[in-house]
Amino acid sequence: MNDRPDTVVLVHGLWMTPRSWEHWVTHYEARGFRVLTPAYPGFEVEVEALRADPTPIAEADIVATIDHLASVVRSVDTPPIIMGHSFGGALTQMLLARGLGAAGVAIDSAPTEGVRVNPVSQVKSLFPALNNPAKRHQAVGFTAEQFHYAFTNTLDAEASQAAYDRYAIAAPGKWVWDYGLIANFKPGHQETWVDYSADRAPLLFIAGAEDHIMPPSVNRSNYKHYKKSPALTEYVELEGRDHWTCAAPGWEAVADQALDWAVEHAQPLRSTAG
């Protein structure tokens, strides 16, 4: 039996599909890992199909999504490494909170409930989804210009347009409203709450110093919420990296740093059977 996890589960964020991990899949497979890139329920079709009919996006349910991702993780014989980008980072935290995974990495993570930092660049990035309450019931997309500001601000206009053309879809307006704006003001725990004091698998936060939509201050605040947990939690901030860090030039170093940390700190393997 190998003494390290042999599988990596990559969880995509909002305004994206599993296609956003295409380079990481081949990169990690070349390093000898099995790689799974589960889609949110309804997002299993290609980018072009979701653009043509965004109904599955508008109707996406976060509880069903977490349950689906948990079933994928549990389907692996031994606990895998779980990595998520943006809202996938928040989902990664929620999966670890369920006792899943050997280690987790949250990259440019969206905040879980209780993180109350809202930098100006984040407000500006999310404004196209929050400028009309009717969008809470819609699939909300960025224009190419808005995508350039929120996701790819370290790229030139041509490179940003290419990324937008290949990867961008709309996002569930309800998720942006409910978990990015309202969750901290509703009584009781919401779907993105985690027990920050509980034990779980090791977790690394990777933040990009130039990230507009999920700036370092958001990720640092999220990281500090775990200070009472006995589990290993670490934070690293990468200079010159924006929200598109998983595909922008130099992404290989980010991928290697995430995987090396996860392998080094992964919990001892145990079977997930039963």
Chain center to CA of 83 = 7
Helix (H) or strand (E) holding 144: helix 144-150
Does residue 274 sit within a domain? no
Listed residue (108, 103, 66, 122) closest to 222, CA to CA: 108
Q: Which amino acid is at 96?
A: L
Pairing of strands 171-172, 139-140: antiparallel
Q: Work out the pLDDT band at 269, boundaries 50, 70, 90.
A: low
For residue 272, pLDDT over 60 is answered with: no
Does residue 273 sit within a domain? no
Tell me, what's the pLDDT at 97?
97
Q: Work out the pLDDT band at 181, boundaries 50, 70, 90.
A: low
pTM score: 0.95
The CATH number linked to 167 is: 3.40.50.1820
Does residue 2 sit within a domain? no
Q: Can you tell me the distance from the alpha carbon of 193 to that of 101, in angstroms, rounded to the nearest whole number?
A: 18
Does residue 80 sit within a domain? yes
What's the distance, Cα to Cα, between the start and end of the chain in Å? 19
Q: Can you tell me the distance from the alpha carbon of 272 to that of 58, in angstroms, rounded to the nearest whole number?
A: 33
A 10 A CB-CB count for 195 gives: 12
Does residue 208 sit within a domain? yes
Q: Can you tell me the distance from the alpha carbon of 168 to that of 179, in angstroms, rounded to the nearest whole number?
A: 21
Q: Work out the pLDDT band at 201, boundaries 50, 70, 90.
A: very high
Residue pair 182/84 in contact (Cβ under 8 Å)? The answer is no
Does residue 36 sit within a domain? yes
Does residue 43 sit within a domain? yes
Does residue 177 sit within a domain? yes
Tell me the pLDDT tens digit for each residue of 24-82.
Answer: 999 999 999 999 999 999 999 999 999 999 999 999 999 999 999 999 999 999 999 99
Pairing of strands 203-208, 233-238: parallel
Q: Give residue 73's domain range.
A: 7-265
Q: Can you tell me the distance from the alpha carbon of 201 to that of 103, in angstroms, rounded to the nearest whole number?
A: 5
Split into its structural domains, the chain has a count of: 1
